[in-house]
Amino acid sequence: MVELTKFAGTRRFHPILNAKRLPCFLFVIIILSSQDASAQDPARLQIMNAGINLGWTSGIIETEGVTAENIDQIGANLANATAAITALVPLIASPPYDTDSFVKVNEEINRLSGKIGGMPRDKAAHEISAIYRRLQSALRVYLSARTRKLTQGGTCDASTLDVGYYFGRGHTALQRGNLTLERKSRETMMHSIHTGAEIAKSRPCVFPSDQYLSAPVLDTPTVATYASSLTVIQNVAAVGTLPAGVALDPAVKIPTAVAPSSVPTTTLTTSPPPDNGKTPRPVVRPDLSKPWSSTWGNIHWSENYYGTKSKTLTGKLVKINNRWVFFGRWGRTSSDRSGQVMFTFTSPTSFEGYYTENSKKGGSWRGAAPD
């Protein structure tokens, strides 16, 4: 048993506490077993997947720029990064995190997706790097045990993002023969792992550094070891630190059983970016002329409300990288409660999304078209 006398360092926690996912920095005296400290963490997996997809995009652009041959893959990677962040928002606690920061990162990704075609290499690379830095900054916030205030600084979550980003960057760089970028990215990935380990000693929070260091690519960088290491780091992100003597099985991909049902399986990144040049099939525009059922009541799109007419919902439907996305705001006619929403349509008849409330709370929001 391990006693944490400053603040808890895991997102799985004692049952007397609120059931929402807690940050790595909550002030509480709590007894945790080593098994608790290794609990699966769907939020950490989404952070890793966002980093990997942004890194894949960076490696492609740094090596080739934006071309007619790779624009579809760049778009798919950016869409996957958005999906991971969308799934992350309902899983994080606010404070210390500001959910609006994650919403703004998604908006930046979607804006870039709409204008990146034909963008010069240097500008596109700068845009991707800026988005990564904004997401990193959103994760570099914790409650200080000394001052009891929100503090900017390194966190286990930010280090998880770094590991995924530099892994993805090295992966697509190697695929395209950019050995210099691959080497620099792999070295930075290893540095990020060691940084996360040090942060976990002082916060404390869970950062499974030993398991990340078992990724084969850190010893022998090849296309094959990158492919097997992708599975390793996703498994580690999903389940955390494994008990002593239990090895990761690199042949096992992230199954839906690892992620709870509240996390859309479509946001799990389980394969490297293909180089087949195939264009995805066009997605049919969802029909919003009729009410849809949803988590928070039927949505009457044309009348701008959900549930009852006192609950407003306004926004616009846009097509981004072969996906339909609804950006908007919800509110109350009887109070000042309000917030933002983002719905990503996974098919013409269903969406996965989230809402925020006054930048303080987040929750999932799903919906389906009428039969």
Q: Does 164 lie in the same domain as 84?
A: yes
In a domain, 33, yes or no: no
Q: Does 297 lie in the same domain as 184?
A: no
In a domain, 8, yes or no: no
- Enumerate long-range contacts of 100-103, CB under 8 Å, 24 or more apart: 100/340, 100/356, 100/359, 101/134, 101/137, 101/138, 102/135, 102/138, 103/340, 103/342, 103/356
Distance, in Å, from the CA atom of 303 to the CA atom of 290, rounded to the nearest integer, reads 10
In a domain, 170, yes or no: yes
pLDDT at 25 > cutoff 80: no
Q: Hey, what are 134's tokens?
A: 């904004």
Q: Does 222 lie in the same domain as 187?
A: yes
pLDDT at res. 279: 42
pLDDT tens, residue by residue, 60-100: 999 999 999 899 899 999 999 998 998 888 887 667 788 88
DSSP string, 264-333: -GGG---SPPP-S-PPPPPPPPP--SS-BEETTS-EEGGGTEESEEEEEEEEEEEEETTEEEEEEEEEES
Q: Does 328 lie in the same domain as 223?
A: no
More confident residue, 318 or 274: 318
Q: Which domain holds residue 115?
A: 42-267
pLDDT at res. 114: 87
Q: Does 254 lie in the same domain as 313?
A: no
Last residue of a domain, one of 267, 282, 312: 267
pLDDT at 236 > cutoff 80: yes
More confident residue, 189 or 325: 189
Task: For residue 367, list its beta bridge partners.
Answer: 294, 351
In a domain, 176, yes or no: yes
pLDDT at res. 96: 78
- As a whole number of Å, the end-to-end CA separation of the chain is 52
More confident residue, 22 or 113: 113
pLDDT tens, residue by residue, 343-368: 888 889 999 887 877 655 567 899 99
Q: Does 321 lie in the same domain as 262?
A: no
Distance, in Å, from the CA atom of 148 to the CA atom of 40, rounded to the nearest integer, reads 28
In a domain, 258, yes or no: yes
pLDDT at res. 15: 24
- pLDDT classification of 17: cutoffs 50, 70, 90: very low
CB 264 within 8 A of CB 255: no
DSSP symbol at 38: G
Last residue of a domain, one of 232, 250, 267: 267
State mean pLDDT over 332-337: 89
State mean pLDDT over 295-314: 94
Rounded to 5 degrees, φ, ψ at 360 are -115, -30
Q: Does 242 lie in the same domain as 136?
A: yes
CATH number at 98 reads 1.20.1630
| Domain count along the chain | 2
Last residue of a domain, one of 221, 252, 267: 267
Candidate ranges 31-40, 108-117, 313-322; pick with highest mean pLDDT: 108-117
Q: Does 225 lie in the same domain as 299?
A: no
Q: Does 320 lie in the same domain as 179?
A: no
- pLDDT classification of 150: cutoffs 50, 70, 90: confident
Q: Does 247 lie in the same domain as 325?
A: no
Distance, in Å, from the CA atom of 56 to the CA atom of 54, rounded to the nearest integer, reads 5
In a domain, 273, yes or no: no
Q: Does 183 lie in the same domain as 221?
A: yes
Range with lowest mean pLDDT among 177-186, 231-240, 301-310: 231-240
Among 162, 171, 215, residue whose Cα is nearest residue 192:
162
State mean pLDDT over 224-244: 79
Distance, in Å, from the CA atom of 246 to the CA atom of 94, rounded to the nearest integer, reads 34
Q: Does 328 lie in the same domain as 190?
A: no
- pLDDT classification of 282: cutoffs 50, 70, 90: low
Give me the numbers of helices (H) and strands (E) for the chain, helices first please.
8, 12
With b for 16 or more beta-carbon neighbours within 10 A and e for fewer, the 29-68 pattern comes to ebebeeebbbebbbbbbbbbbbbbbbbbbbbbbbbebbee
More confident residue, 364 or 8: 364
Strand residue runs (E) in 162-239:
none
More confident residue, 106 or 19: 106
In a domain, 13, yes or no: no
